[in-house]
Each structure stands twice: as structure tokens, then as C-alpha cells.
Amino acid sequence: VSRDIALLVKDTLDHQTIVQGIKQAAGKFLTNVTIFDVYQGGNIEAGFKSMAYSLTFANPEATLTEEEITRAMEKVSKYLTEELAAVIR
């Protein structure tokens, strides 16, 4: 099961830090994190960039429920906003 998340972050924040945070927050069912978009300029405030990630979740022992996935995404969002000062777009 995949879910996408788009963030507005300071342009000094690197991809690896974001991925580590996502992995830490998402829990054991996260199997993959892929960046699919980075954008600066246009309608993005100077000093910031927009980054979008696809998160893949799987449980080898059972089918994941929507509730489990939602809970994991909420933890990811909370971590990104509170620890990395990201804005979820």
C-alpha cells in the first residue's frame, strides 16, 4: 500500500535527514521511501523547497488495515512538522 506526502522544508534540510525521520516515525510496516519530486522557485518562498515522497507499507503476516496506515502516516506527519519544521502540503 502506498501513500504520498508532500512537504515544504527549508532548503538546507537534506533528503537523507527526511528519509531517516520518515523511517523512524512510520514504524515496522514501512518498506520503502521514494522521493519523486523536488521543486524550488515559482510560488515557493525563498529559502524553502517542496519535496514529495511515496511511502510503501506492507505487513508480511497480514493485510494492513486503513487504520494502521493512517496511524503510521499521522506519526510521520507529526515527526516532520514537530522535529523538522516541515509544512505538510
Ordered by start, the domain boundaries in the chain are 2-88
Handedness of CA 48, 5, 31, 37 (dihedral sign): negative
Architecture of the domain made up of 2-88:
2-Layer Sandwich (3.30)
Nearest to 27, CA basis, from 75, 60, 84: 75
Beta-carbon contacts of 76 under 8 Å, excluding residues fewer than 6 positions away, are 5, 22, 25, 26, 55
**Rounded Cα distance, 51 and 14, in Å:** 10
> pLDDT tens digit string along 13-55?
999 999 999 999 999 999 999 999 999 988 899 999 999 999 9
pLDDT confidence of residue 42? 86
Tell me the backbone φ, ψ of residue 67, rounded to 5 degrees. -65, -40
